[in-house]
Chains A and B, each alone.
Chain A
């Protein structure tokens, strides 16, 4: 097997995952990035979405993460997220209410015409949609 990188997923209240993986797909600010061993050092924000863990050519784990950060070093990849939910525990219903909430928040933000506010609302909506999509599967 090729080299592995240590993936750590940490929520504010606990450490959820810490294990060597082949490849991790991370929903970073500008889209998904795949992290392999030896990746260039990088710090990015998360946009909310599914983290997919690849082991031996197959996806072994999927976890939903909310907003947060990822720190990548050649030998490790640390995800700090506000919220982490294993894909099996996602519920379509919560996701739907989240989307609805985010949509109305976006409407409210659009009215204020404050660019920062709108951007924040868009990010929130995107995270909620990602959760909904993840829950559907």
Chain B
């Protein structure tokens, strides 16, 4: 049985831990709100971009002018995985989930005989993947010490990917990130970036007559400008979703931690009081038996 003093220190230390987790939960909650609204505001742009791209893709479909960013290089040998994780820990299984997903994907691709290159965004994913696939990582980006992610950051990543595509360093590019399902659930998911996956295009034939657009300048030039931007906006969206998810995960994790700390304090306090009682009883017995002996 630990002494009274030891118990007292223990209780105090758990109490201060609880204070910290409680504060972190509060901070995460307010950051979550900000991240969510940022993600929301980026949505209209992405939606309209998709619509435009759908129209354009339908009009160049099958023609030889379609650029590699839209239709790929025609091969599927080299895969580039862009893995988005958080920079900081203490957010439950958030980073592990997405890193493990990326690792399994990498393993599966290598088993199929493909070459895999990894570009990590976020410190935690890099640290995790470096253990097993150090030589596959071709680059890593992190936002350590940054308060908010801006569109420029996404553009930077997109430029890096574009450069690699132009240098024919990969055939297929996939984005792996934590999709924000709701505050407590984030789903590790993947999205193909190159060749571009366009949801609007297949409905073309089924969904009634669509107006034929005029293009100024030509389709090719517009696509050449639109595709890199589309890439950037897809990455931006993933970054924002991941950022919101991170805060959500942290909030849940810290909420649990706060509750566990509370339980622990209750248990320790009970122990402490029992011990105190036992000590008093023991002292009384000593005094009484001492008095009787005289």
Contacts and interface: CB of A to CB of B under 8 A. Distances in A.
Contacts, number: 75
Interface string B48-61: 11011001100000
Given A69-B52, A71-B51, A71-B52, A15 B41 contact: yes
A97 B226 CA distance: 27
Contacts of B213: 41-43, 71
Interface string A30-66: 1000000000111111000000000000000000000
Interface residues of B, number: 28
Residue of B41, B45, B211 with most partner-chain A CB within 10 A: B45
A42 B41 contact: no
B222 A14 contact: no
Interface residues of A, number: 24
Contact of B42 (A12, A28, A30): A12
B216 A42 contact: yes
A74 B212 CA distance: 12
Contact of B221 (A11, A13, A45): A45
B225 interface: yes
Contacts of A44: 215-217, 222
A95 interface: no
B8 to A, nearest CB: 52
Q: Sort A-B residue pairs by CB-CB distance and give the 10 closest, nearest first.
A: A41-B211, A44-B216, A14-B41, A42-B214, A15-B44, A12-B151, A41-B213, A10-B45, A43-B213, A10-B44
